[in-house]
Amino acid sequence: MAANKIDYQLNDIVMMKKPHPCGVNRWQIIRVGADMKVECTGCGHIVMMDRYKFNKRIKKVLERPEAEEK
């Protein structure tokens, strides 16, 4: 396992290594689990992939949702 494992959260905005064909490289995480579901912020296309492929294709987390106080 990688030592620098990133914990992804619902509604994070992430940048992938390759841009989407619509020209946008910003994706919103809409499902977190064994599989990751992301939505293109440009055209709304939804892609689902396993966590292993997601970890290989992600470049960085751009934005995190505001932390809610508990």
What ranges do the domains of the chain cover? Answer: 17-63
- Asked if residue 29 lies in contact with residue 38, where contact means CB atoms within 8 angstroms, the answer is yes
- Please state the pTM of the whole predicted model: 0.80
Q: What is the pLDDT along the chain (70 residues), one digit of tens a residue?
A: 444 567 889 999 999 999 999 999 999 999 998 899 999 999 999 999 999 999 999 999 998 887 654 4
Q: Per residue, what are the HEC states of the chain? A: CCCCCCCCCCCCEEEECCCCCCCCCEEEEEECCCEEEEEECCCCCEEEEEHHHHHHHEEEEEECCCCCCC
CA 5 to mean position of chain CA atoms = 14
Q: Name the β-bridge partners of 38.
A: 29, 47
- pLDDT tens profile 18-34: 999 999 999 999 999 88
